[in-house]
Amino acid sequence: MGLASDLLYLLRHRTRIFIYSGAHFPNTYRNRIYRIPYYDLGPCGKFEHLGVTTPDNIKLVFYRFSHRVPSESKGTVIIFHGNGSISGNMNDVAAGFFDMGFDAIQAEYRGYGRSTGFPSAKGLRIDAQTVLDAVCDDPLTSQKPIIIFGHSLGGAVAIDLACRNEDNWISALILDNTFTSLPDVVKDMPIIGFLGYTGYLWPERWPSANRLNKLSPKMPILMLSGSDDRVVPPSQMKTLYEIAVGRGRDQVHQASMVEEDRGEVRFELLEGHGHCNNIEHPRHWEIIREFLRSSLKLNFDAPGEGTATFALDASRLSFEE
């Protein structure tokens, strides 16, 4: 009885340490991997530090790869990272989107990196909305496509954000190795897998499957799944894909929506890749480019655009102590 009560206590009160592990790194480690304040993007780009305050007075600190001439940007990609990461770890993703012609914002959560506060599902939802609002309130960025990219936990954040803003601002959703719910992830883990069957006790579940089912059928969605992902099995991404394809196919929607009005939904299994390295797949950027070309009718035919030739080069980085 004592062990059971202890496990129940840990489940109800300590799961946030597991869910938001990247926020609980020692400060020395967090600061060391977050020391990427400047990056030379050449004459056409800027690498910026941004700060924004949430409605509940949390200060979020994150980065943006942007074009010096706003008219040269195809739109904005907001990137949400996974639970064990921080925004600075998504530089390679941001660089790829910048090379494709987009501005890229590496969003941060409360309690992560140099942002204040402590993470929670409610807090992360506020943080994501605050970043999106900042983009939408800027006349230089609000008139072009806004694409949401989410990896792992960031995919759950992205799905939730899209459900709350689909008709106003968000043009497309890209999900990278994300899950149906947090309890479903735990079910596939050794030793503690049984805890996944107590999902009703979890204070924070991130029920992405349920939320995705409520998303407008008009929203284009690309899903990238690593075949060798040992954290989020590809079967969960496949389940999300099936839900996405089936959105709105009830009798009420069928009477009012023709097939041509539905947003494109694409699932890509990246062979030989795991949870965090889909970006290394040789077709990664080609898949994203073709999805955005077909779903948003964007033009990537100009020389030097959409080829993902831009790469992070340590010699071009300068650091802040």
pTM of the predicted protein model: 0.86
Q: Residues 6 or more apart from 175 whose CB is under 8 A from it?
A: 150, 155, 158, 159, 221, 222, 223, 224, 237, 240
Tell me the domain boundaries of the chain. 17-248+262-299
Q: Class for domain 17-248+262-299, per CATH?
A: alpha beta
Q: pLDDT tens digits, residue range 5-62?
A: 555 555 555 667 778 888 876 554 455 444 444 566 777 888 888 899 999 999 999 8
List the Cα angle 131/310/45 in 5-degree steps.
55
Taking the CA atoms of residue 81, residue 86, residue 87 and residue 92 in that order, the dihedral angle to the nearest 10 degrees is -80
Q: pLDDT tens digits, residue range 216-258?
A: 999 999 999 999 999 999 999 999 999 999 997 764 445 455 5
The phi-psi region of residue 206 (left if phi > 0; otherwise alpha if psi is between -120 and 50; otherwise beta) is left
- Mean pLDDT, residues 261-287 taken together: 95
Answer whether 284's CB lies under 8 Å from 270's CB: yes
User: What are 206's two structure tokens?
Assistant: 């991130």
CA dist list (Å): 62 to 4, 38, 90, 105: 41, 12, 11, 8
pLDDT in the model for residue 320: 35
pLDDT in the model for residue 29: 47
Which has more confidence, 81 or 46? 81
User: What are 70's two structure tokens?
Assistant: 């706003």
